[in-house]
Amino acid sequence: MSPTIRDVAKKANVGIATVSRVINNNTSVSAETRNAVLTAIEELDYTPNPIARQLSTGRTLTIGVIVPNLTSPSYVERLRGVQTALAESEYHMVLYSVGNPVDRDNYFKELSRNGLVDGILIISLPPNDAQAERFAQSDVPTVLIDAYHEQLCSVLTDDVKGGEMATQHLIDLGHTKIGFLSETLETPFHPSSYYRYQGYRKALTENNIPFDETYRISGASGRMHAREMARQLLAMQIPPSAIFAGNDIQAIGILDTARELQIEVPSELSVIGFDGIRDAEYTNLTTIDQHLHESGEEGVKMLLQELESLSDSPAQKRLALKLVQRNTTRPLIG
């Protein structure tokens, strides 16, 4: 077995407390003793057992990240941001990947309870009131990324406003027949698509453009399903001249279909996405950039702050949205 602090103490002819002081750079050790201890450590190739240290200090130096299965690039990008910010800290990251509501609830309960982690970061998984209450009561600080609850710290996106911005952009370009294509609006997870839809409706209303139910389509997530839905939208007698997609992946699916149908983008069809994933840049997609990477970093910052000193009122940070115009939207001709 690996050597323990007692082995070091014996070898250096000192007490274990002294060894501990040396390890932790406690000043009150004479240079002589310190050297003796250091050489003993060297000779035994000793490293302190982190678990024992965790038990006695009460800190695990670990933060738990609860995230939906890495099915969507946006989760991955947020996670990258988390990773980036965490790398500069002394904390490690345990990944809890949730595939269904049961997983989610289990992780929520498990982590908020006992001292497995020092802090919790939750990505795109809004807790219900009871769960939020638990987190708030628990003594492990929790930060939500891309989700909101009044009781908890959060880094969030104004999806309604983003939806409005996207739609307004299309309207500004002269479009009035504007389609909306998204994931199912009723999801057990984060209803961001629904909020974006609300923004879409709001923009229409504000510009006195009547909402046409037939221009709205939603279904399963993913590029393939988006293609299919786009086919349906574009096969209408009077198809939309522009489509706002609930996220970038779906927007890219629409572009796929447009190419397949030889509908030229943006001259014959404008498409705008939402998220600002990397593929949006590669495909020259106009989109609403919600600063995914930054959201991860900000979440970590907030959590680290919370770990320093638990604030009383939960901090809330809203990330700015940015319309990034590329080559999939342009003024309507005629």
Partner DNA sequence: GTATGATTCGAAACCGGTTCCATAGAACAA
Partner DNA sequence: TTGTTCTATGGAACCGGTTTCGAATCATAC
Residues that bind DNA (CB under 7 A): 1-2, 4-6, 13-21, 23-24, 27-30, 32-34, 46, 48-49, 52-53, 55-58
Identify the DSSP state of 235: T
Please tell me whether residue 305 binds its own copies under the rule CB under 8 A.
no
Query: How far is residue 88 from each of residues 168, 176, 298, 311, measured CA to CA in Å?
Result: 40, 48, 13, 22
Instruction: Print the binding letters for residues 69-98 with its own copies: x by CB under 8 A, - otherwise.
Output: xx-----x--xx--x---x----xxxxxx-
Question: In the complex with its own copies, which residue's Cβ is closer, 66 or 178?
Answer: 66
Query: Site size for its own copies, by CB under 8 A?
Result: 34
Q: How far is the CB of 40 from DNA (least distance, A)?
A: 12
Q: How far is the CB of 132 from its own copies (least distance, A)?
A: 18
Question: In the complex with its own copies, which residue's Cβ is closer, 49 or 128?
Answer: 49
Question: In the complex with its own copies, which residue's Cβ is closer, 87 or 236?
Answer: 87
Q: How far is the CB of 26 from its own copies (least distance, A)?
A: 21
Tokens 């501990």, located at residue:
20
Please provide the DSSP assignment of 158-217 as one string: -HHHHHHHHHHHHHHTT--SEEEEEE-S--SS--HHHHHHHHHHHHHHHTTPPP-GGGEE
Contact status, residue 82 vs residue 122, Cβ threshold 8 Å:
no
- Sign (positive or negative) of CA dihedral 66, 219, 229, 164: negative
Crossing angle for the helix pair 192-206 and 159-172, nearest 10 degrees?
40
Given its own copies, DNA, none, residue 27, with its beta carbon under 5 to 8 Å by kind, binds DNA
Structure tokens at 129: 């009131």
Q: Which stretch binds its own copies (CB under 8 A): 16-24, 49-57, 123-131, 312-320?
A: 49-57
Q: How far is the CB of 134 from its own copies (least distance, A)?
A: 11
Please tell me whether residue 55 binds its own copies under the rule CB under 8 A.
yes
**Residues of this chain, 121-160, that bind its own copies according to CB under 8 A:** none
Question: In the complex with its own copies, which residue's Cβ is closer, 58 or 334?
Answer: 58
Rounded CA gap, 104 and 215, in Å?
Answer: 34
Class of residue 202 by CB neighbours under 10 A (exposed 0-12, middle 13-18, buried 19+): middle
Instruction: Print the binding letters for residues 233-262 with its own copies: x by CB under 8 A, - otherwise.
Output: -----------------------x------
For its own copies, which residue of 2, 13, 311, 327 counts as binding (CB under 8 A)? 2
Given DNA, its own copies, none, residue 87, with its beta carbon under 5 to 8 Å by kind, binds its own copies
Identify the DSSP state of 45: T
Rounded CA gap, 323 and 203, in Å?
Answer: 15
Contact status, residue 278 vs residue 73, Cβ threshold 8 Å:
yes
Q: How far is the CB of 35 from DNA (least distance, A)?
A: 10
**Angle at Cα 218 formed by Cα 215 and Cα 221, nearest 5°?**
145
Please tell me whether residue 47 binds its own copies under the rule CB under 8 A.
yes
Contact status, residue 222 vs residue 178, Cβ threshold 8 Å:
no
Rounded CA gap, 281 and 5, in Å?
Answer: 54
For its own copies, which residue of 25, 262, 282, 333 counts as binding (CB under 8 A)? 282
List contacts with its own copies (CB under 8 A). Answer: 2, 47-52, 54-55, 60, 62, 69-70, 76, 79-80, 83, 87, 92-97, 99, 103, 113-116, 223-224, 256, 282
